[in-house]
Amino acid sequence: MSAENTRNFCIIAHVDHGKTTLSDRLLEHTNQVSARVLTDQHLDSMDLEKERGITIKSHPVTMTYPAKDGKVYKLNLMDTPGHVDFSYEVSRSLAACEGAVLLIDAAQGVEAQTVANAHLAVGQRLKIIPVINKIDLPSANLELCLKQLEDILTIPAEEAILASGKAGIGIEEILEAVVHRVPPPRWTDYPQARALVFDSLYDAYRGVIAYVRVFSGTLKSGDMMLLMSNGLRSEIKEVGIFTPKMEKVDALGAGDTGYIVSNVKDTSEIKTGDTITLSRHPATQMLPGYKEVRPMVFCGLYPVDTSDYEKLKAALGRLRLNDAAFVYSSESSVALGFGFRCGFLGLLHMEIIQERIRREHDVDIISTYPSVVYRVVKHGGEVIEVDNPINLPDPGTITEIQEPTIKAAIHIPNDAMGDILALVMEKRGVVDHTDTLDATRVMLTCILPLNEILVDFNDRLKSITHGYGSMDYELGEYRTADLVKMEILINGDPVDAFASIVHRDKAEGKGRELCEKLAEIIPPQMFKVAIQAAIGGKVIARDNVKEMRKDVTAKCYGGDISRKRKLLDKQKEGKKKMKQFGRVSIPSDAFIKVLKTN
């Protein structure tokens, strides 16, 4: 089919606004998947996606649609994630498209992620088709949604299509809008073949499979391809399209979206955002790729069973290929043995990766407390980046420590305003300004330290707003803060797995909490063990692990009290001597319990 009759578009929206359900209806309407085979959330292929009801990876699919103008069109659709942690997936999908269907929930209106994704699409110069979804809900408020569309997103209300992915309302109108409003593929007249790699996966039998959008030229089996970023040459073994399962075709032409199987076997050689061209007539100019994704959250991942180290290493290598935002490097810990320091985009991203390691690769793992990347300015002006508290230099050599901040847009109901402001202040944040969205909702623009939102911020936001609050954020600038390294000492020895970088004002509370938790979990020893939280040489919190005591006075009955005292003093001396030379053996499950509750 000619490029003139091809349309590439994606569906973007906030979490739970119905992207995947709408994709199901489009597949059904174009007879791409028969009703017998079609399942709910058909494009969400991962078990995790189906369980959590969220999209984690973007899923391409090619459909054929006979339009009302008598022409037959090829539609390449991408269903994208909505969660803020996977916004890089959205940006990759947008780069491979010319248009975007922007979904808005008729009951909830414009949410934080709706605004963020709309800005991403405008930045890529895509044609936006606004769709008000879920109009069949009893709580749908169309008037409000159309007003927000104009006021917040500056898109004319008359362009909006009213639809329901569940009930199948407005599907024909959406397909017609895609055909007539989305422009045909761009850059097709470039003289050499160029294809953009927007995703890839590893197959145990076929090696690396690259997902590509072809912008110009033709790619077919037997061609020698060239990766423009590293100059790697490889023979193309197979090309195909997604229907949504992989289906082999003879060739991929300009405007097509599909996959390429080549001789590349190493997961690190095909990078997302790279340009593929043909080695006999190579292109001179690469396609605009993506902004390099930088991990924001780091933690250590260790196998519970140390013999699983190689298995964990192989699992991380495979996940790294499918996920450009995930990075890892080897590290070791006295307490936990050999493992890896891993970087993620956010907490949900971290949770998903850990769950995939456990399920898909059958490795039981333990993770250390999450941390962010700090900038440390040393005397003499040298600046170093620290993602692990253990690597923090000696305090005497540090001029200042800077922490990353985020600029957050928080959408909340009016009645939750006071509690949310208190939460923002508790997390050392400041509210930049407030915008009234409508009669019941406001949007707060806040500056918050990234470290403070890592663990429980989103849970508490949902709890305070009874599930109606939503947040989108982008990385802000680095700011100087009074940060210190807090260590946990057990019997005077520091335990690296529990070290953390905290704000001085919060160190005492966090130290006390951790000491209490460890005192409960570490089993009793033969002598009393002190668990201390310390900053530098100063102890700021302490708790004790009870000692096991033998009743040495059991054989004494009656008689002089001095006999009992003599035995107790002898026992005390023995325990004092044992404390000097004894070492506290902490079972690995104690680390697991503490780190998992954290």
Q: Binding site for GTP: residue ranges? A: 16-21, 133-136
Please spell the DSSP secondary structure of 200-233, one letter per residue: EEEETTTEEEEEEEEEES-EETT-EEEETTT--E
571: enclosing H helix or E strand: helix 561-581
Token code pair at residue 121: 């699409």
First to last CA, the chain: 55
CA distance 392 to 285: 42
- Omega before 288 within 30 of 0, i.e. cis: no
**Which residues make up each annotated binding site?**
16-21, 133-136
Burial class (CB in 10 A: 0-12, 13-18, 19+), 491: middle
CA distance 249 to 377: 56
Closest alpha carbon to 130 in 97, 107, 99, 166:
99
Q: How far is CA 374 from the centre of its chain?
A: 19
Could you identify the residue written with the tokens 């959008």?
A: 213
Check if the beta carbon of residue 93 is closer than 8 Å to that of residue 80: yes
Could you identify the residue written with the tokens 């996977």?
A: 86
Residues 6+ apart with CB under 8 A from 557: none
CA distance 352 to 393: 32
DSSP state of 452: G
CA distance 135 to 157: 15
Residues 6+ apart with CB under 8 A from 4: 184
Check if the beta carbon of residue 525 is closer than 8 Å to that of residue 507: no
Question: How would you classify residue 397: left for phi > 0, otherwise alpha for psi between -120 and 50, otherwise beta?
Answer: alpha
